Amino acid sequence: MFLKKFSGAGLVALAAAILLGIALSVPTFHSSYAQAPAATEPAPAAAPLAAAPPACDAKTLEKCTPNSGDTAWMLTSMAIVLMMTIPGLALFYGGMVRKKNVGDTVMTSFAITCLISILWLFFTYSLAFRAGTPFIGGLDRAFMQNILSDISTGIGNPNSLAPTIPETVYSMFQLTFAIITAALIAGSFAERMKFSAMLWFIGLWAIFVYSPIAHWVWGPDGIFNSSNPDAWVKVLDFAGGTVVHVNSGTAGLMAALMLGKRKEKGPPHNVVLTMIGASLLWVGWFGFNAGSAVSAGMQAGMAMAVTHIATATAGFTWMLVEWMLRGKPTVLGICSGAVAGLVAITPASGFVGPMGAFCIGVAAGVICYWGCTGLKHMFGYDDALDAFGVHAVGGASGALLTGVFAVSEYGGTAGLIEGNYQQVLNQAIGVGTVFIYDVIVTLIILKVVDLIIGLRVSEDVEREGLDLALHGETVQ
């Protein structure tokens, strides 16, 4: 009980511990800055007029200059992917809750953005994207030490995952993925979770679930990384169908199951906010998918094209399905369909062509409609804003269909339509492994947080609305 009452104090204690950690790590900062130039410094003899360092590419990763076009595109992508979460996802979710919970809902996205960014700086970036073991990365970039080689000479510090851009840009780009993955989970537990419990859950989840799974699929030595020659299974996941969407949707389902149903449900209070949010997601998703090419070239162009095609198709398909089955086309329906299309094309975007994208769009519109209606009602869980129904169902469908529609001409890997049956199996292994690991670890985290501070607000708070009870604010 003591801990339950003082979960706020617990957070303060955590913050203090983090600050202490920073203080203790100061020597690391100094040594990192002292060492970094020493490690990669061009000889002092290299006068300013000497020949510029060579361009960075897959073979040249040291003492080289990043490609300015690629870097410009990735800087842009980072910014618009951040826009997907705040305000995009915040509004998408905010419009779907009742008015008494809209402040809590939008603030959840905002607070997750801040929390995940701090953890990223400390160690989650290093754990996810640096070489270490096949299961989890190393800590050589903890506190982002050595992330910049030498700014004064224009020498970047690219890595094998992003050979033509500075590692700072790559790290920040990937940060925006970690943010939205965590923020997506909020759709499942909306309108009834304690804010403090949410922060603990999301923080622990980012460390113990997101970091390892991102490392499996995208880490240079990850077990599922399709560009790692030593990978156990080569899983295609261009921009995060498995890492982001199956991952967040599954965690959301676990949270919905652990928290239980809301006492009362109400209709969305403002579908226009949801429409604005869905539109921001659509625009930001070009950074998400085309940005995942980590270059501004042919693959990015195709990723952008297929992203748009699948999204438009899925939005239209959902609208038609709903129109047929329920008699009316709805704002929420077409927006949900578009997001389902974005989710499903995410793993496929660098690997399929335009007609593959069209097929994936149609499938996403139909399957995710079922995910949010038939599937949800069949099992009776209260996935409040359909994080599982759209993201896990759409992400898994997209991941499997990537194995079907991949064309070697576009992304270097053949899929089922070119006779490669194995790829569909690989995709299923990737999705299945992530699902199982996610279920187990997320349940453990939720159980621990529940025992220490309690996951759910009291019935009175839920009835009064989280805005007033938890934040002392109301939205009119």
Partner 1 sequence: MKIVMAIIKPFKLDEVRDALTKIGVQGLTVSEVKGYGRQKGHTEIYRGAEYAVSFLPKIKLEIACATDQVDKVIETISAAAKTGQIGDGKIFVYGLDQVVRIRTGETDAAAI
- Would you tell me which residues interact with partner 1 (CB under 8 A)? 96, 265-268, 322, 326, 328, 330, 332-333, 336, 369, 372-374, 377, 386, 389
Q: Which residue has the tokens 């989970």?
A: 185
Closest distance between partner 1 and the C-beta of residue 398, in Å? Answer: 19
**Long-range CB contacts for residues 292-296, cutoff 8 Å, separation at least 24:** 292/238, 292/239, 292/240, 292/349, 292/350, 293/350, 294/70, 294/74, 294/161, 294/162, 294/164, 294/165, 294/170, 294/173, 295/67, 295/70, 295/73, 295/164, 295/165, 296/69, 296/70, 296/72, 296/73, 296/74
Nearest to 231 by CA among 163, 135, 346, 124: 135
How far is C-alpha 223 from the geometric centre of its chain's CA atoms? 19
Using an 8 Å Cβ cutoff, are 91 and 109 in contact? Answer: no
Using the minimum distance from each CB to partner 1, give the nearer residue, 342 or 469: 342
Closest distance between partner 1 and the C-beta of residue 202, in Å? Answer: 25
CA 146 → CA 40, 142, 153, 174, distances in Å?
Answer: 10, 9, 16, 17
Closest distance between partner 1 and the C-beta of residue 281, in Å? Answer: 16
Closest distance between partner 1 and the C-beta of residue 333, in Å? Answer: 7
Give CA–CA dist 183/114, Å, rounded: 11
Using the minimum distance from each CB to partner 1, give the nearer residue, 117 or 330: 330
Q: Which residue has the tokens 């625009």?
A: 283
Closest distance between partner 1 and the C-beta of residue 369, in Å? Answer: 8
Using the minimum distance from each CB to partner 1, give the nearer residue, 236 or 332: 332
Q: Which helix (H) or strand (E) holds 217?
A: helix 211-218
Query: Phi and psi dihedrals of 162, rounded to 5?
Result: -145, 80
Using the minimum distance from each CB to partner 1, give the nearer residue, 48 or 327: 327
Closest distance between partner 1 and the C-beta of residue 371, in Å? Answer: 10
Nearest to 368 by CA among 403, 325, 398: 398
Using the minimum distance from each CB to partner 1, give the nearer residue, 281 or 290: 281
Closest distance between partner 1 and the C-beta of residue 38, in Å? Answer: 58
Using the minimum distance from each CB to partner 1, give the nearer residue, 112 or 253: 253
Using the minimum distance from each CB to partner 1, give the nearer residue, 4 or 269: 269
* Tokens describing residue 322: 């709903």
Using the minimum distance from each CB to partner 1, give the nearer residue, 13 or 272: 272
Using the minimum distance from each CB to partner 1, give the nearer residue, 8 or 266: 266
Render the burial of 176-199: b for 16+ CB within 10 Å, e for the rest: bbbbbbbbbbbbbbbbbbbbbbbb
Give CA–CA dist 439/230, Å, rounded: 27
Closest distance between partner 1 and the C-beta of residue 183, in Å? Answer: 20
List, in sequence order, every beta strand (DSSP E) within 398-469.
none
Using an 8 Å Cβ cutoff, are 314 and 370 in contact? Answer: no
CA 166 → CA 154, 171, 341, distances in Å?
Answer: 10, 9, 31
Q: Is 130 helix (H, G, I), strand (E, B) or coil?
A: coil
Using the minimum distance from each CB to partner 1, give the nearer residue, 156 or 337: 337
Closest distance between partner 1 and the C-beta of residue 373, in Å? Answer: 3
Contacts of 450 (CB under 8 A, 6+ apart): 197, 258
Using the minimum distance from each CB to partner 1, give the nearer residue, 203 or 389: 389
